[in-house]
Amino acid sequence: MTVKKRTGNTSRGGSAVSTPKKQQKESGIKNQVNHDDKKDAKISLNTDVKKDSKLYNFAVRTFWTFVMIVGFFIVLASGHFWCVILILGCQIATFKECIAVTGQSGREKNLPLTKTLNWYFLFTTIYYLDGKSLFKFFDDTFVKYSVLNLVASNHKFISYCLYVLGFVIFVCSLRKGHLKFQFASLCVTHMVLLLVVFQAHLIINNVLNGLIWFLLPCGLVIVNDIFAYLCGITFGRTKLIEISPKKTLEGFLGAWFFTAIASVILTRLLTPYYYMTCPVTDLKTNFFNALTCELNPVFVPQDYRLPPIIFDKVGVEVITIKPVYLHALNLATFASLFAPFGGFFASGLKRTFQVKDFGDSIPGHGGITDRVDCQFLMGSFMNLYYETFISENRITVGTVVSTILMNLDTTQIIELIQVLNRALYDNNVMSKAVYDQITDLYQI
């Protein structure tokens, strides 16, 4: 009997015997599975890291937001002087960040005077603009000191001489091979001075005119920014502007509505306090001092007659309201429709020079410029609006004395004293004996 050997690919228990090719295939499958497992683990790890990073950034951003809010209110309570210092600090930091962003390509150039001249023109401009404001609001103080009075009297001429000196130094610093860069740097510097320092000067004037004209526009810009984000993520569908793809038309218009409501609420909260509504007359003023003044008419309730079309529907012919509420609505409109374009401009500048932020001075927020880009445009509008529609012509003793000392010689001043002396006597303010004594004293 012939016995045939089994040559099939079976083993004991009926299981198949693995061939080398099949073993290789199974090994490849195992390796692929292990590779996929490692890849999935790596992706999971990266996702966890990203989540932790986002959580950390959110925590840092929230913490520094709280620090900025608390710090701002501390400065606000400390007085007008410290508010001015805060604005000066912000404008200097913004100037530094803008110059650094736009001048990155020339850092390696051996032109040491370029950076020095940038700072020279900055402080010359600050002296001219902000010095003028200080001389205007605190002329009583400057008149008391001969040196300060001399500086105040010749302020414009001194400012011009300082600028011409910087201009001469710039021309002398020109170097062949770097002319294009140097002139471009000069142009950028002057543009930043116009867009940052000049507008910051107007914001300082807002502080001196009354803290409400500083705090109200700042608050409206912040509220508008918050509600533009909230309305955008809730209702946003239509892209607003190419330079900022995340901005939507729905967020833009929704923020306008809520900013208008916020303007009424903020005005109601701020107007009861003299500290907010009174112009500053003393740099030592703070929240704990008893500051009083004669209120501007916009803070006094007035009667307004409603148009017939409204009267017929509501049955009310006259309403009594403080005019400041109407002005606040106008400010809310500008803060919603125009101030955001300051932020769009800053976004375009960052895209031009391919940077994410202007700096990293505020952890989680970027640079100072990233936080105040809309505030400059809003602050300058507030000042011009105030001077056009709200301001009263205020003439103080210091203003009159300063004008006299700058424009009259000694003989003319004595003549003025005699005229004033005669006017006081004619109005029975002084006796005949006192009048005669003063007349004899100032005989020319």
pLDDT at 261: 98
The residues, any chain, with a CB within 8 Å of residue 303's CB and separated by 6 or more, are 318, 319, 320
- The pLDDT mean for the chain works out to 83
Tokens standing for residue 84: 């001015």
Whole-number pLDDT of residue 301: 94
What distance in Å separates the CA atoms of residue 433 and residue 443, rounded to the nearest whole number? 16
What one-letter code names the amino acid at 229? Y
Lowest mean pLDDT among 122-126, 130-134, 195-199: 130-134
User: Which of 85-89, 111-115, 210-214 has the lowest average pLDDT?
Assistant: 111-115
Is the distance from CB of 344 to CB of 317 less than 8 angstroms?
A: no
Rounded Cα–Cα distance for residues 22 and 14 (Å): 17
Interval 352-405: pLDDT, tens: 888 888 888 888 778 899 889 899 999 999 999 999 999 986 666 767 777 787
Which residue do the tokens 């309403």 mark?
319
Q: Does the pLDDT value for residue 39 go beyond 90?
A: no
Chain-centroid distance, C-alpha 270: 20
Binning pLDDT at 50, 70 and 90, where does residue 15 land?
Answer: very low
pLDDT at 383: 96
Residue 5: what pLDDT? 44
> Which carries the bigger pLDDT value, residue 17 or residue 114?
114
| Alpha-carbon gap, residue 364 to 367, rounded angstroms | 9
Assigned token pair, 236: 């946003």
Q: Which two tokens stand for residue 403?
A: 């004008």
Percent of the chain, pLDDT > 70?
A: 82
pLDDT value at residue 11: 44
pLDDT for residue 171 is more than 50: yes
**What is the arithmetic mean of pLDDT over 147-164?**
85
**Mean pLDDT on 82-101:** 93
Q: Which of 107-116, 209-218, 280-289 has the lowest mean pLDDT?
A: 107-116
Contact 344, 244 (CB under 8 A): yes
* pTM of the model as a whole: 0.77
Residue 25: its pLDDT value, please? 53
Q: Which residue, 191, 20, 232, is CA-closest to 94? A: 191
3-state secondary structure the chain: CCCCCCCCCECHHHCECCCHHHHHHHHHHHHHHHHHHHHHHHHHHHHHHHHHHHHHHHHHHHHHHHHHHHHHHHHHHHCHHHHHHHHHHHHHHHHHHHHHHHCHHHCCCCCHHHHHHHHHHHHHHHHHHHHHHHHHHCHHHHHCCHHHHHHHHCHHHHHHHHHHHHHHHHHHCCCCCCHHHHHHHHHHHHHHHHHHHHHHHHHHHHHHHCCHHHHHHHHHHHHHHHHHHHHHHHHCCCEEECCEEEEEHHHHHHHHHHHHHHHHHHHHHHCCCHHHHCCCCCCCCCCCCCCCCCCCHHHCCEEEECCHHHHHHHCCCEEEECHHHHHHHHHHHHHHHCCHHHHHHHHHHHHHCCCCCCCCCECCCECHHHHHHHHHHHHHHHHHHHHHHHCCCCCCHHHHHHHHHHHCCHHHHHHHHHHHHHHHHHCCCCCHHHHHHHHHHCCC
- pLDDT at position 396: 65
Hey, what are 100's tokens? Answer: 């650094």
pLDDT recorded at residue 280:
87
Mean per-residue pLDDT, 275-294: 86
Say if CB 195 and CB 376 are below 8 A apart.
yes
Q: What is the reported pLDDT for 252?
A: 94
Over 80: is that where the pLDDT of 42 sits? no
Question: Is the pLDDT reported for residue 297 higher than 70?
Answer: yes
| pLDDT tens profile 43-63 | 554 555 555 677 887 888 888
Select, from the ranges 24-38, 47-61, 235-249, 262-276, the one with the highest average predicted confidence (pLDDT): 262-276
Residue 13's pLDDT is 44
Show the CA angle centred on residue 193, arms to residues 187 and 198, nearest 5°: 145
Structure tokens that stand for 408 in this block: 């009259």
Lowest-confidence pick of 13-27, 138-152, 170-184: 13-27
**Residue 32 scores a pLDDT above 60:** no
pLDDT at 303 over 80: yes
Mean pLDDT in residue range 285-290: 85
Nearest one of 279, 270, 261, 269 to 335, comparing CA atoms: 261
